[in-house]
Protein backbone atom coordinates (compact mmCIF):
# COMPACT_ATOMS: atom_id res chain seq x y z
CA UNK A 1 0.00 0.00 0.00
CA UNK A 2 1.23 3.48 -0.89
CA UNK A 3 1.97 5.20 2.44
CA UNK A 4 0.17 8.31 1.20
CA UNK A 5 -3.08 6.40 1.63
CA UNK A 6 -2.42 6.20 5.37
CA UNK A 7 -2.71 9.96 5.76
CA UNK A 8 -6.08 9.93 3.99
CA UNK A 9 -7.37 6.93 5.93
CA UNK A 10 -6.22 8.47 9.19
CA UNK A 11 -7.85 11.85 8.58
CA UNK A 12 -10.82 10.71 6.45
CA UNK A 13 -11.36 13.97 4.57
CA UNK A 14 -14.14 14.81 2.12
CA UNK A 15 -12.74 12.89 -0.85
CA UNK A 16 -15.48 12.15 -3.35
CA UNK A 17 -15.11 13.95 -6.67
CA UNK A 18 -11.69 15.63 -6.60
CA UNK A 19 -8.68 13.40 -5.97
CA UNK A 20 -4.92 13.92 -5.59
CA UNK A 21 -3.19 13.54 -8.93
CA UNK A 22 -1.00 10.75 -7.53
CA UNK A 23 -4.19 8.76 -6.99
CA UNK A 24 -6.10 9.78 -10.12
CA UNK A 25 -4.30 11.87 -12.72
CA UNK A 26 -5.84 13.63 -15.72
CA UNK A 27 -4.11 11.10 -17.96
CA UNK A 28 -5.74 8.23 -16.07
CA UNK A 29 -9.14 9.94 -16.22
CA UNK A 30 -8.82 10.24 -19.99
CA UNK A 31 -7.80 6.58 -20.24
CA UNK A 32 -10.73 5.44 -18.10
CA UNK A 33 -13.19 7.49 -20.14
CA UNK A 34 -12.09 5.74 -23.34
CA UNK A 35 -12.83 2.23 -22.01
CA UNK A 36 -16.19 0.98 -23.26
CA UNK A 37 -16.72 -1.83 -20.77
CA UNK A 38 -15.43 -0.37 -17.53
CA UNK A 39 -16.70 -1.19 -14.05
CA UNK A 40 -16.09 0.36 -10.68
CA UNK A 41 -15.67 -2.42 -8.12
CA UNK A 42 -16.46 -1.99 -4.44
CA UNK A 43 -13.67 -3.53 -2.37
CA UNK A 44 -14.97 -4.53 1.07
CA UNK A 45 -15.47 -8.07 2.41
CA UNK A 46 -15.13 -11.49 0.86
CA UNK A 47 -18.35 -11.17 -1.14
CA UNK A 48 -17.16 -8.04 -2.94
CA UNK A 49 -14.19 -9.95 -4.34
CA UNK A 50 -16.41 -12.85 -5.39
CA UNK A 51 -18.79 -10.39 -7.05
CA UNK A 52 -16.01 -8.95 -9.19
CA UNK A 53 -14.81 -12.41 -10.20
CA UNK A 54 -18.33 -13.57 -11.05
CA UNK A 55 -19.02 -10.40 -13.05
CA UNK A 56 -15.94 -10.99 -15.18
CA UNK A 57 -17.39 -14.38 -16.12
CA UNK A 58 -20.83 -13.10 -17.04
CA UNK A 59 -20.17 -9.60 -18.39
CA UNK A 60 -17.90 -8.36 -21.15
CA UNK A 61 -15.53 -6.32 -18.98
CA UNK A 62 -12.41 -4.69 -20.35
CA UNK A 63 -11.19 -3.13 -17.11
CA UNK A 64 -12.12 -2.51 -13.50
CA UNK A 65 -11.31 0.31 -11.10
CA UNK A 66 -11.09 -1.01 -7.51
CA UNK A 67 -12.42 1.46 -4.95
CA UNK A 68 -12.08 1.42 -1.17
CA UNK A 69 -14.61 3.62 0.65
CA UNK A 70 -14.31 4.74 4.25
CA UNK A 71 -17.22 5.60 6.51
CA UNK A 72 -16.88 6.87 10.07
CA UNK A 73 -16.94 3.55 11.89
CA UNK A 74 -14.38 1.05 10.61
CA UNK A 75 -11.27 -0.15 12.38
CA UNK A 76 -8.54 -2.69 11.74
CA UNK A 77 -5.60 -3.15 9.41
CA UNK A 78 -5.96 -0.98 6.31
CA UNK A 79 -3.43 -3.17 4.51
CA UNK A 80 -6.18 -5.79 4.15
CA UNK A 81 -8.32 -4.18 1.41
CA UNK A 82 -5.21 -3.35 -0.60
CA UNK A 83 -4.09 -6.98 -0.33
CA UNK A 84 -7.50 -7.96 -1.66
CA UNK A 85 -6.95 -5.77 -4.70
CA UNK A 86 -3.72 -7.65 -5.42
CA UNK A 87 -5.57 -10.96 -5.02
CA UNK A 88 -8.29 -9.74 -7.38
CA UNK A 89 -5.72 -8.58 -9.92
CA UNK A 90 -4.45 -12.13 -10.24
CA UNK A 91 -7.97 -13.45 -10.79
CA UNK A 92 -8.77 -10.77 -13.38
CA UNK A 93 -5.63 -11.54 -15.36
CA UNK A 94 -7.06 -15.00 -15.98
CA UNK A 95 -10.11 -13.32 -17.56
CA UNK A 96 -8.12 -10.76 -19.55
CA UNK A 97 -9.49 -7.86 -17.52
CA UNK A 98 -7.22 -4.91 -16.72
CA UNK A 99 -7.15 -3.79 -13.09
CA UNK A 100 -6.28 -0.18 -12.33
CA UNK A 101 -4.58 0.92 -9.13
CA UNK A 102 -7.08 1.26 -6.27
CA UNK A 103 -8.75 4.53 -5.42
CA UNK A 104 -9.81 5.58 -1.90
CA UNK A 105 -12.81 7.80 -1.27
CA UNK A 106 -15.28 8.80 1.39
CA UNK A 107 -17.22 11.47 3.25
CA UNK A 108 -17.83 10.97 6.99
CA UNK A 109 -20.06 14.07 6.88
CA UNK A 110 -22.33 12.36 4.31
CA UNK A 111 -22.36 9.22 6.46
CA UNK A 112 -23.16 11.26 9.59
CA UNK A 113 -26.18 12.94 7.99
CA UNK A 114 -27.52 9.66 6.65
CA UNK A 115 -26.68 7.28 9.47
CA UNK A 116 -25.82 9.10 12.69
CA UNK A 117 -27.20 12.60 13.12
CA UNK A 118 -30.92 11.77 13.30
CA UNK A 119 -30.86 8.49 15.26
CA UNK A 120 -33.34 9.60 17.93
CA UNK A 121 -35.67 11.19 15.38
CA UNK A 122 -35.59 8.11 13.15
CA UNK A 123 -36.50 5.81 16.02
CA UNK A 124 -39.46 8.00 16.97
CA UNK A 125 -40.58 8.46 13.37
CA UNK A 126 -40.20 4.93 12.02
CA UNK A 127 -40.21 2.77 15.14
CA UNK A 128 -36.70 1.37 14.68
CA UNK A 129 -33.14 2.50 14.09
CA UNK A 130 -30.08 0.89 12.58
CA UNK A 131 -27.26 2.66 10.74
CA UNK A 132 -26.63 -0.35 8.52
CA UNK A 133 -29.29 0.27 5.86
CA UNK A 134 -28.20 3.87 5.40
CA UNK A 135 -24.56 2.87 5.54
CA UNK A 136 -24.78 0.52 2.58
CA UNK A 137 -26.75 3.14 0.67
CA UNK A 138 -23.92 5.56 1.44
CA UNK A 139 -21.31 3.05 0.24
CA UNK A 140 -23.02 2.85 -3.15
CA UNK A 141 -23.96 6.52 -3.43
CA UNK A 142 -20.51 7.80 -2.53
CA UNK A 143 -19.20 6.29 -5.77
CA UNK A 144 -21.68 8.09 -8.04
CA UNK A 145 -19.61 11.29 -8.46
CA UNK A 146 -16.55 9.20 -9.36
CA UNK A 147 -18.61 7.21 -11.87
CA UNK A 148 -19.81 10.44 -13.46
CA UNK A 149 -16.28 11.82 -13.55
CA UNK A 150 -14.84 8.87 -15.45
CA UNK A 151 -18.08 8.22 -17.40
CA UNK A 152 -18.60 4.76 -15.98
CA UNK A 153 -22.12 3.35 -15.89
CA UNK A 154 -21.47 0.11 -13.97
CA UNK A 155 -20.69 -0.42 -10.29
CA UNK A 156 -20.23 -3.94 -8.91
CA UNK A 157 -21.21 -4.78 -5.32
CA UNK A 158 -21.23 -7.96 -3.26
CA UNK A 159 -24.59 -7.86 -1.46
CA UNK A 160 -26.73 -10.96 -1.30
CA UNK A 161 -30.15 -11.54 0.22
CA UNK A 162 -29.32 -14.58 2.34
CA UNK A 163 -26.10 -15.59 4.07
CA UNK A 164 -26.67 -19.31 4.62
CA UNK A 165 -29.39 -19.21 7.30
CA UNK A 166 -28.69 -15.66 8.45
CA UNK A 167 -30.40 -12.43 7.47
CA UNK A 168 -28.61 -9.10 7.20
CA UNK A 169 -31.12 -6.30 7.50
CA UNK A 170 -29.21 -4.11 5.03
CA UNK A 171 -29.34 -6.78 2.34
CA UNK A 172 -32.95 -8.01 2.32
CA UNK A 173 -34.77 -7.89 -1.02
CA UNK A 174 -36.62 -4.63 -0.31
CA UNK A 175 -33.40 -2.85 0.57
CA UNK A 176 -31.42 -4.17 -2.39
CA UNK A 177 -34.21 -3.15 -4.75
CA UNK A 178 -34.02 0.36 -3.28
CA UNK A 179 -30.25 0.52 -3.74
CA UNK A 180 -30.50 -0.59 -7.36
CA UNK A 181 -33.29 1.90 -8.09
CA UNK A 182 -31.40 4.74 -6.44
CA UNK A 183 -28.31 4.13 -8.55
CA UNK A 184 -30.43 3.76 -11.70
CA UNK A 185 -31.92 7.20 -11.04
CA UNK A 186 -28.42 8.57 -11.70
CA UNK A 187 -27.97 6.46 -14.83
CA UNK A 188 -25.75 3.86 -13.15
CA UNK A 189 -26.28 0.11 -12.99
CA UNK A 190 -25.58 -1.42 -9.60
CA UNK A 191 -24.67 -5.00 -10.48
CA UNK A 192 -25.15 -7.49 -7.64
CA UNK A 193 -24.17 -10.83 -9.22
CA UNK A 194 -24.29 -12.70 -5.90
CA UNK A 195 -27.70 -11.43 -4.89
CA UNK A 196 -29.44 -14.82 -5.04
CA UNK A 197 -26.52 -16.98 -3.89
CA UNK A 198 -27.30 -18.33 -0.42
CA UNK A 199 -24.42 -20.67 0.35
CA UNK A 200 -21.05 -19.51 1.64
CA UNK A 201 -19.61 -22.61 0.02
CA UNK A 202 -20.71 -21.32 -3.37
CA UNK A 203 -18.96 -18.02 -2.67
CA UNK A 204 -15.75 -19.85 -1.82
CA UNK A 205 -16.16 -21.82 -5.03
CA UNK A 206 -16.20 -18.59 -7.02
CA UNK A 207 -13.12 -17.28 -5.20
CA UNK A 208 -11.33 -20.59 -5.52
CA UNK A 209 -10.13 -20.95 -1.94
CA UNK A 210 -11.28 -21.23 1.67
CA UNK A 211 -12.27 -17.81 3.00
CA UNK A 212 -14.51 -17.52 6.05
CA UNK A 213 -17.10 -14.76 5.91
CA UNK A 214 -16.14 -11.78 8.04
CA UNK A 215 -12.44 -12.65 8.07
CA UNK A 216 -9.70 -10.70 6.30
CA UNK A 217 -11.64 -7.45 6.21
CA UNK A 218 -12.08 -4.19 8.07
CA UNK A 219 -14.39 -4.31 11.08
CA UNK A 220 -17.18 -1.92 12.08
CA UNK A 221 -17.92 -0.64 15.58
CA UNK A 222 -21.66 -0.87 14.78
CA UNK A 223 -21.52 -4.50 13.62
CA UNK A 224 -24.58 -6.64 14.48
CA UNK A 225 -26.34 -3.70 16.16
CA UNK A 226 -29.73 -4.90 14.87
CA UNK A 227 -29.43 -8.38 16.43
CA UNK A 228 -31.00 -9.20 19.79
CA UNK A 229 -29.17 -11.04 22.57
CA UNK A 230 -29.97 -14.38 20.93
CA UNK A 231 -28.50 -13.15 17.63
CA UNK A 232 -31.96 -13.11 16.06
CA UNK A 233 -33.22 -10.29 13.86
CA UNK A 234 -36.77 -9.01 13.69
CA UNK A 235 -37.83 -6.34 11.25
CA UNK A 236 -40.82 -4.85 9.49
CA UNK A 237 -40.56 -4.39 5.75
CA UNK A 238 -43.19 -1.66 5.88
CA UNK A 239 -41.14 0.33 8.40
CA UNK A 240 -37.99 -0.15 6.34
CA UNK A 241 -39.76 0.94 3.16
CA UNK A 242 -41.01 4.08 4.91
CA UNK A 243 -37.52 4.82 6.20
CA UNK A 244 -36.08 4.44 2.72
CA UNK A 245 -38.76 6.43 0.92
CA UNK A 246 -39.28 9.21 3.45
CA UNK A 247 -35.74 9.71 4.73
CA UNK A 248 -32.75 7.76 3.42
CA UNK A 249 -33.30 8.18 -0.31
CA UNK A 250 -34.05 11.87 0.04
CA UNK A 251 -30.96 12.58 2.14
CA UNK A 252 -28.71 10.52 -0.13
CA UNK A 253 -30.02 12.24 -3.25
CA UNK A 254 -29.51 15.68 -1.73
CA UNK A 255 -25.95 14.87 -0.76
CA UNK A 256 -25.04 13.38 -4.13
CA UNK A 257 -26.60 16.28 -6.03
CA UNK A 258 -24.69 18.73 -3.84
CA UNK A 259 -21.43 16.98 -4.65
CA UNK A 260 -22.18 16.81 -8.36
CA UNK A 261 -22.86 20.55 -8.46
Tens-digit pLDDT profile for residues 183-199: 999 999 999 999 999 88
Residue 258 lies in a domain: no
Q: Report the domain count for the chain.
A: 1
pLDDT of residue 214: 61
pLDDT of residue 92: 94
pLDDT-based confidence at residue 232 (cuts at 50, 70, 90): confident
Residue 127 lies in a domain: no
Residue 85 lies in a domain: yes
Residue 114 lies in a domain: no
pLDDT-based confidence at residue 217 (cuts at 50, 70, 90): confident
What 3-state DSSP class applies to 72? coil
Residue 98 lies in a domain: yes
Mean pLDDT of the chain: 94
pLDDT of residue 215: 66
pLDDT of residue 164: 84
**Is the Cα dihedral 28, 33, 39, 45 positive or negative?**
positive
Task: Tell me the mean pLDDT in the region 234-255.
Answer: 96
In the DSSP assignment, the letter for residue 70 is: E
Residue 103 lies in a domain: yes
Q: Per-residue pLDDT tens for 36-67?
A: 999 999 999 899 999 999 999 999 999 999 99
CA distances from 6 to 13, 44, 82, 114, 159 (A): 12, 17, 12, 25, 27
- Global pTM? 0.95
pLDDT of residue 213: 64
pLDDT-based confidence at residue 135 (cuts at 50, 70, 90): very high
**pLDDT of 127 higher than 70:** yes
Residue 220 lies in a domain: yes
Q: Are the beta carbons of 53 and 91 closer than 8 angstroms? A: yes
Residue 89 lies in a domain: yes
**pLDDT of 228 higher than 90:** no
For position 205, which CATH number holds? 3.40.50.620
Q: Per-residue pLDDT tens for 63-87?
A: 999 999 999 899 999 999 999 999 9
Q: By residue range, what is the domain housing residue 208?
A: 4-107+137-224
Amino acid sequence: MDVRFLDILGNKPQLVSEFPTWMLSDTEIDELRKIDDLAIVEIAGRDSIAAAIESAKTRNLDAILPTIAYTATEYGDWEIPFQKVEFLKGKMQECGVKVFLPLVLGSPDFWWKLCGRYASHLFREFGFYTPCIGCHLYLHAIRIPLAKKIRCQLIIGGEREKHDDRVKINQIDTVLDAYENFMASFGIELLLPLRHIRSSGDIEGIIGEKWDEGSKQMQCVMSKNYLDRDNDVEYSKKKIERFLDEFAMKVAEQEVQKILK
